[in-house]
Amino acid sequence: MTVPSGVRGASRGSGPADQRHDEFLAAMWHRVCAALGFGAAERAAVADRLGDLLGPWARQRLGSRPRYPSYVSHGGLPLEMSVNWSAGGTQVRVVWESLGEPEPTPGSCLDAGRACTRRLGDEPGMSLARYREVEHLFLGSEGTAAHRAQNPRTPVVWNALAWSPGRPPAFGVYLNPQVDGPGRAEPLVGEAMRVLGLEDAWRRVGPRYPELVEHGHEVQGFAMDLVDSRAARVKVYLVGYGASVADLGQVVALTDHPAGDRLLDACRRTLGHDGPCRGMPPATCLGFRTGHDRPTAATAYLPVPDGGLRSRHRIAEVMADNGLDPAGYLAVLAELTGPDHCPGAQKYVSYKADGDALAVSAYLKFDAYEADRADELPAVLNAKPAGRPVGPTTHS
């Protein structure tokens, strides 16, 4: 996944229609990693390996509009990047949806995603054992409308990479728990948790789900680490339509986390009010690990309507007050947008309570297409609730 010439202006409105998907991702990867001060040789090695793993679809040109509007990013790009800052260091993440060949359709994209997941399982330190136990639950019924048309019930298999310098990359998978409809999402997740041996922890959430729904929360994402370790996480994402900070707190409280109050304070400081959020809906994520009787981590995601042009300073202050150096965060946004005057490049910020500390992630927006506006994309993309931030997801 080599860096094409002239990448410096690739996300500043030049319309990189002639770039391949892997070239575009490589350009963004190197710009972000360089802004963070990551070494050129090490970041290049990870980028090249990622390029090999993506598969043949990534060698297709971007074009002026998405070949297949993906829900991975708001603009239809099947790629999303984010950066996470925590007490453990800085981590760069990528989430992607593999596009099917020769033409991307819901069915061919699902097949491509499953094939990519199996390639990731062969990487050092990765395992598909737990994923294989639950994959069938998230595939829906073959031949149904969900497999023939792109809609919120379409089965998907997305993948993710998370990397910090000095460590090998780790990989994950994202699945759609609404394949049997929104009303079946919680029972489906509950069955997956039972199979994975996490039913005790899910009892903390499942019986309270009707109350969460009354306050606008809806299960829309399920993710798993593919690492071969008891520390591997399972994550459940909930979108909070019309949610205030207090509503987000209902989900965070399910963890009894010591940093929960700090997380909610960070949300209020970032928004400048108690909510509800403007624009795209906020979301939450609960993390689960084997051997625990409740969720072990909670994350809140907030949309950044101004792209970070003004809110970046509030976010930087939150980071500094929680012992995280905001210099890297500000450097990434400055590299992608310019310090003050260019369009914003951040679409979400997340705050995660894990242990006694707070972690912060910035989800980046790249103008990949000539018409990179949601109202210029096919209606089906607008019909999909756009609250799942991935991205990590990416790896939250």
Picking from 120, 5, 107, 112, the residue whose alpha carbon sits closest to that of residue 52 is: 120
Q: Could you give the CA distance from residue 239 to residue 217 in angstroms, rounded to a whole number?
A: 5
Per-residue pLDDT band at 228 (split at 50, 70, 90): confident
9 residue type, one letter: G
pLDDT on residue 256: 83
Give the mean pLDDT of 94-115. 94
pLDDT on residue 145: 44
Q: Is the pLDDT of residue 254 over 60?
A: yes
Q: Could you give the CA distance from residue 31 to residue 352 in angstroms, rounded to a whole number?
A: 25
CB 87 within 8 A of CB 360: no
Of 162-171, 231-240, 378-387, which gets the smallest average pLDDT? Answer: 378-387
Give the mean pLDDT of 61-76. 87
pLDDT on residue 231: 82
Give the mean pLDDT of 33-37. 98
Q: Could you give the CA distance from residue 331 to residue 339 in angstroms, rounded to a whole number?
A: 9
Picking from 162, 65, 192, 58, the residue whose alpha carbon sits closest to that of residue 113 is: 58
pLDDT on residue 396: 56
pLDDT on residue 15: 52
Share of residues in the chain with pLDDT > 90 (%):
69
**8 CB contacts (<8 Å, ≥6 apart)?**
31
Q: Is 206 exposed, middle or buried (0-12, 13-18, 19+ CB in 10 A)?
A: middle
Give the mean pLDDT of 14-26. 85
**Residue 345 vs residue 123, higher pLDDT:** 123
Q: Could you give the CA distance from residue 276 to residue 262 in angstroms, rounded to a whole number?
A: 19
Question: Against a cut of 0.85, is the pTM above it?
Answer: yes
Give the mean pLDDT of 329-349. 79
pLDDT on residue 393: 47
Q: Is the pLDDT of residue 120 over 90?
A: yes
HSE of 386 in the Cβ direction (CA atoms, 13 Å)?
Answer: 19
Per-residue pLDDT band at 384 (split at 50, 70, 90): very low
Per-residue pLDDT band at 114 (split at 50, 70, 90): very high
Q: Is the pLDDT of residue 8 over 60?
A: no
**Residue 356 vs residue 76, higher pLDDT:** 76
Instruction: Provide the mean pLDDT of the chain.
Output: 86
Q: Is the pLDDT of residue 166 over 70?
A: yes
pLDDT on residue 2: 54
DSSP three-state, residue 71: coil
Q: Could you give the CA distance from residue 243 to residue 90 in angstroms, rounded to a whole number?
A: 29
Residue with tokens 């909670």: 298
pLDDT on residue 25: 96
Picking from 83, 84, 66, the residue whose alpha carbon sits closest to that of residue 75 is: 66
Q: Is the pLDDT of residue 51 over 50?
A: yes
Neighbours of 52 (CB within 10 A): 11
Q: Is the pLDDT of residue 146 over 60?
A: no
